[in-house]
Structure 1
């Protein structure tokens, strides 16, 4: 099964898990905002949870709670980011705060975040404690995204983006009962997350006027003095090499090994294709 096919199948599964989660929310105001926040995601991170779990021999059903929690945390982080950045659109629609107000979105996000962490607690205290640390890293990354220096660019994107890539790969070690591999799986998530944000920032740098660049994209532009292509190409290749090196050391199933091998390219090319960029960097 290629990665596109696995993602399409997993997205349907995760969407159904999210619908079931929402059906259990009894307060109508919380339900309405939660439904909007959790709607229409690509489900990349939840898909990674299922993919690594399955590749390590775990039962797919055991990864469903982790995939759900990952998507809840990711969606809540985006809803809060939109408030901080004054972004009025998200995924081609109005941002949640632009419809429901800042206060309501913040309150509902404060409901969703501990709810997701409570779901993760099913995998045990170690999984929960690591998840809490990763969420803290995401918050630090958001600060560095706004106020950090260009010299800390890679650290910024590791914290703000890779932390929520580390989360599902880490949780897959618990759902597959391969806790002995947790450190390697965290590193895999780190490299995938850095690749993803490098390309995402690259897209902004080559499609937006430099005056409109913000956050880590602005840091990337300043770090490279606008010559983003060689830097991003080099860094993507470095992190892809490290990812593949770790992957080769893992006891993954032969049926999914090729799928895992192509995951970095799937993430990178997906962003480039979505932005209508061809033959620019790769």
Structure 2
């Protein structure tokens, strides 16, 4: 009788830490552990898995780094399950981006170029896929921008909301996660000299973007976004902020009010 060849292959034996990590990860992804659930204490987990507390700590540290677990407030509050969706991706990207910016391993030029790569296609896709709900949110943000002044502390948040909502309208949640992370962590064009004229022009650009997206004009929306980003860079150059001519974050007052119809 001929031998029958079976499609079996040797599997590597997992280390205890990896076994613990994989089981907890599987429980989160399948829903046995839900968003907001608190994990048992290290001692209880060590007993359940029959491993040392050091092994449990290694596994939990890896799950925290991957964004599946988050530390609660205080030193004794424990670890909690964090939602697994594009919002959790945005949080994870924000944390990593914040760290690399803090230690200076990413240059301002790289941040600026990355913004172009994200936001121009984001505007194009938004014009193709936007919903009435997206338009209503963008309209509301512009109304708030137009009713305030360039030095209002609320301006940075309104700006982040506007650009994030354009990304949401793209119907690409990965893109939306990265745009949101960029605006809330890197704060594009942060050190640009702010004044009333910059505020008026910036909100005028937002209105132009809104109109192109509403008209479902992908090319017009992409051009409007590129023009907006170019203007901010040129303004940085004109005000002697050469390091920002190639990009960095945005701080209060970059996009103030403008009396203009949508």
Query: Do they superpose with TM above 0.5?
Result: no
Q: Greater helix share, 1 or 2?
A: 1
TM-score, normalization by structure 2: 0.28
**Structure whose CA Rg is larger:** 2
